[in-house]
């Protein structure tokens, strides 16, 4: 089966960011990576985050197996190759450039010695990086700078998370499972104490560790997932607001409207009309 690809490129003739910019981002399902036997030197930065499947990465100093939860960070001009095992892999990718990333490299924050960030919780980082694949590129300089800084923050967070995962081998497992449970069956109520028990922790310990790892509480994370799911249904379906509220776990239509206005400044109907 041929790989499927979803891409959000930069808009035509958009002004370049002063600090940096995301050039293109997307998803590939069932991809193969680079052609076997080739070596690539990209003129810009890039990342590939493997969300399913396994493969291999090679350069002058690495020959390593990679799989779900591995982020490959490509530095400009660095010769490398990576590819999937038979059966392919699923990935998120982002191509980017700018002085802010070069400064981070010079200061050691994006080290050429750490091209592979492994052990990242798949659910969390799939959600974190998918925003670059799902949204259209900003059309103004300030917006492109802001997106570049958001991506840099994500890369620094990923590097820190990979370091913690290396020191705490159990961390990625419980967090990944927690995120899967919190993102499932959004239309239904969820016992958070039951989620804590599912990952083998007392509730308050789990709540504290979850907030430390993600920057938000389990309750707030689930609420954000519901709002994101409602937004996706508004954009990609013709469902009415009442049906979307029921499908995503809001108590009623008014609850969804209130939360949506708090988040975006618009009602759900105004948001949908603005994107037509």
The CATH number of the domain holding residue 19 is 2.60.120.280
- My answer on whether 129 and 12 are in the same domain is yes
**pLDDT (average), residues 27-46:** 88
In this prediction, residues 133-138 reach a mean pLDDT of 89
Domain identity same for 58 and 159? yes
Which has more pLDDT, 218 or 163?
218
| 213 vs 223: CA distance, rounded Å | 17
Instruction: Identify which of 190, 187, 191 has the alpha carbon closest to the alpha carbon of residue 256.
Output: 187
Say if residue 214 is in the same domain as residue 177.
yes
- The Cα–Cα gap between 91 and 26 comes to 9
Write down the mean pLDDT value for the chain: 86
Residues 185 and 130 in one domain: no
Same domain? For 188 and 221 the reply is: yes
Range of the domain at 123: 4-167
Q: Both 198 and 105 in a single domain?
A: no
Q: What letters, b where the CB count within 10 A reaches 16 and e where it falls short, cover 166-183?
A: eeeeebbebbbbbbebbb
Count how many domains the chain has. 2
Tokens 């050039």 -> residue: 23
Top-confidence residue, 9 or 44:
44
Please say which residue of 133, 167, 201 terminates a domain: 167
Report the C-alpha gap between 182 and 226 in whole angstroms.
10
Q: What is the pLDDT of residues 154-198, one digit of tens each?
A: 999 999 888 765 554 444 578 888 888 898 888 888 999 989 888
Q: Are residues 187 and 152 in the same domain?
A: no
Q: What is the dihedral of CA 196, 200, 204, 210, to 10 degrees?
A: -70
The CATH number of whichever domain residue 261 belongs to comes to 1.10.10.60
Do 19 and 122 lie in a common domain? yes
**pLDDT value, residue 23:** 95
- Claim to verify: residue 83 and residue 120 sit in the same structural domain: yes
């Amino acid at each position: 089966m041929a790989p499927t690809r979803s891409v959000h490129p930069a808009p035509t003739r958009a002004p370049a960011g002063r600090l940096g910019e995301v050039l293109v981002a997307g998803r590939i399902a069932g991809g193969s990576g680079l052609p076997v036997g080739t070596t690539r030197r990209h003129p810009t930065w890039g990342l590939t985050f493997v969300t399913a499947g396994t493969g291999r990465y090679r350069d002058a100093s690495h020959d390593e197996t990679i799989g779900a939860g591995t982020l490959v960070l490509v530095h400009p001009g660095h010769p490398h190759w990576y590819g999937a095992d038979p059966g392919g892999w699923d990935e998120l990718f982002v191509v980017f450039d700018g002085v802010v990333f070069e400064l981070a490299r010079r200061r050691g924050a994006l080290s050429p010695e750490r091209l592979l960030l492994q052990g990242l919780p798949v659910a969390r980082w799939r959600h974190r990086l998918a925003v670059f694949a799902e949204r259209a590129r900003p059309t103004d300089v300030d917006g492109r700078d802001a997106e570049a800084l958001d991506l840099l923050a994500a890369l620094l967070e990923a590097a820190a998370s990979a370091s913690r995962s290396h020191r705490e081998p159990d961390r990625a497992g419980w967090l990944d499972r927690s995120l899967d449970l919190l993102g499932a069956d959004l239309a239904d109520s969820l016992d958070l104490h039951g989620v804590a028990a599912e990952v083998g922790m007392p509730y308050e310990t789990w709540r504290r560790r979850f907030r430390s790892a993600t920057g938000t509480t389990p309750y707030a994370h689930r609420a954000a997932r519901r709002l994101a799911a409602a937004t996706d249904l508004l954009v990609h379906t013709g469902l009415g607001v009442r049906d979307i509220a029921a499908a995503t776990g809001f108590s009623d239509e008014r609850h969804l409207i209130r939360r949506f206005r708090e988040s975006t400044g618009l009602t759900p109907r105004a948001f949908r009309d603005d994107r037509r």
